[in-house]
Amino acid sequence: MTLGSHMTSYVFITGGVVSSLGKGITSACLGAILEARGLTISMIKLDPYINVDPGTMSPFQHGEVFVTHDGTETDLDLGHYERFVRTAHGGRNSNFTTGRIYESVIGKERRGDYLGATVQVIPHITDEIKQSIELGAGDADICLVEIGGTVGDIESLPFLEAIRQMGVELGHERVVYVHLTLVPFISTSSEIKTKPTQHSVKELRSIGIQPDILVCRSEQPLPDEQRRKIALFTNVREKAVISAYDADDLYKIPLMMHEQGLDEIVARQLGLELPEADLGEWQAIVEAKQNPQVDVDVAMVGKYMDLKDSYISLVEALQHGGIHTRTRVNIHFIESRDIEENGVDCLQNMDGIVVPGGFGDRGIEGKIETVRFARESGIPYLGICLGMQVAVIEAARNLAGLKGAMSTEFDPGTPHPVVGLITEWQDQTGDTEQRDEDSELGGTMRLGAQPITLADGSLAARSYGSTSIEERHRHRYEVNNNYRKQLTDAGLRFSGLSIDDLVEVVELPGHPWFVASQFHPEFTSNPRDGHPLFKSFIGAARRHREGELPEAAEA
């Protein structure tokens, strides 16, 4: 197979010793500082699990499903990539799993593409992986490829073999291997242990990959003595042993890596003459986070609170809103079932309330009660996806007097299906047009970026500074258009609509700040620019804290 029809270079990031060391953050931060030196960056995540994509996986097991602009359901690390790297536009060719690779190979075998050959891991699976990497790289100057899992796992072997082959085929001047390991501190003996890193590199070398750079995770900066020892036993230059010590701010990490010359090491190996890195934006972010003018307390009421990674993009988007309003955002994670069991007292001292997206009926009444409390108490409310749907349900019950109103997702027999599958509420009006006829569940997911029109003068339009926006979606159920007039008459405002007249945004006129969206604005937020809806929400929470909220809504 011919590789490299253009001159993209590749940086492969692997991990060893233990999982969850931060390969995604390391990859994203390296991409950020290389981009700051004038390079275009593409980023790919290779995941060793057999699921075709993470779309059906439980948030408790895998964390958030990140949705790209083109509607691909991907690993949460792609969220890190987009938050740190402007040129890394993720999409279908930015996340490949073992399941997807095998699905493609088996499809080719069934079609006869292999001309009757015996299909094997080498060369067929590894060739498919290499082709996928080249496809995802596009025309970028450098493609960063993160391999999920840990070196030594049987699941990762085909990916590691594929990137080994690419190193041989493209040559050392176009491929850099970065290996992330753990250097633990044993408190009982007050010793820093380098042996796990030595063994991890030995495992990597046993399959033919010699790392060029080691990124060593540790609690404290790695002393020179340990860096020299690691370099000696792993055949890595001492200056290429990077200390990735615990940081109190995620957005300090690009600065930390640049200070140790990580970007320069990569550039020199690839023979690149680059201008100095312009990290002014990152320095401004760190300075803003370190010098907030006021604190606010924001409650996030959801159902996956035991694993914060389930809402990682939303958590970051709220922090971005804080960066751009000079506000420290203290997020309080509250299980919606706790609201059901213990009431809303835990929300009393909050400056803002967020109800995020989710699937399934567990804790749904707690979310509805949360909306009621936010509406009646005048606390700024931001609902996202399901958070918008429960806002509609609450308004239907308590403003429009529609007793038993509910989504058919949770109660198929509800007397007032104010939220449901499009095919269900179209049937009520005799509309036989089937937008979702290809789904076994009666409706496919609405995924990816879609245009939205905001009502002129609405809080949402003033927050965005525009009446035309584009945001990403991940949902199946929609607000039932048959109830829109009743709900409007009851005081709910439908201030955002899709091009096919589906509800995208609801507001409560007269409330200090109440906006709920069917889309997921958190997927397009980044620390350098923030996001207009989150900046507006945190601004309202700040005014609530300072006692400055007006009686009527303002952006």
Active site residue 69: no
Residues in the chain: 555
C-alpha radius of gyration, the chain, whole number: 25
User: Torsion over CA of 57, 62, 67 and 71, rounded to 10 degrees?
Assistant: -30
Q: At what angle do helices 157-170 and 98-111 cross, to 10 degrees?
A: 80
Task: Determine if residue 187 is left, alpha or beta; phi over 0 gives left, psi from -120 to 50 gives alpha, anything else beta.
Answer: alpha
Quote the DSSP letter at residue 403: T
Under a CB-based contact definition with an 8 Å cutoff, are residues 14 and 160 in contact?
yes
- Determine the Cα–Cα distance for residues 150 and 452; give it in Å rounded to an integer: 42
Active site residue 385: yes
Annotated catalytic residue, options 64, 385, 409, 511 = 385
- Determine the Cα–Cα distance for residues 175 and 168; give it in Å rounded to an integer: 9
Annotated catalytic residue, options 29, 504, 522, 544 = 522
Under a CB-based contact definition with an 8 Å cutoff, are residues 542 and 296 in contact?
yes
Tell which residue, 109, 122, 100, 2, has the closest CA to residue 51. Answer: 100
Residue tagged 């290779």 (tokens):
46
Q: How many CB atoms lie within 10 A of CB 252?
A: 17
Annotated catalytic residue, options 80, 258, 511, 520 = 520
Residue tagged 């507001």 (tokens):
507
- Determine the Cα–Cα distance for residues 5 and 134; give it in Å rounded to an integer: 9
In DSSP terms, which residues pair with 10 in a beta bridge? 143, 175
Q: How many helices (H) and strands (E) does the chain have?
A: 19, 23
* 494 three-state secondary structure: strand
Q: Which residues participate in catalysis according to the annotation?
A: 385, 520, 522
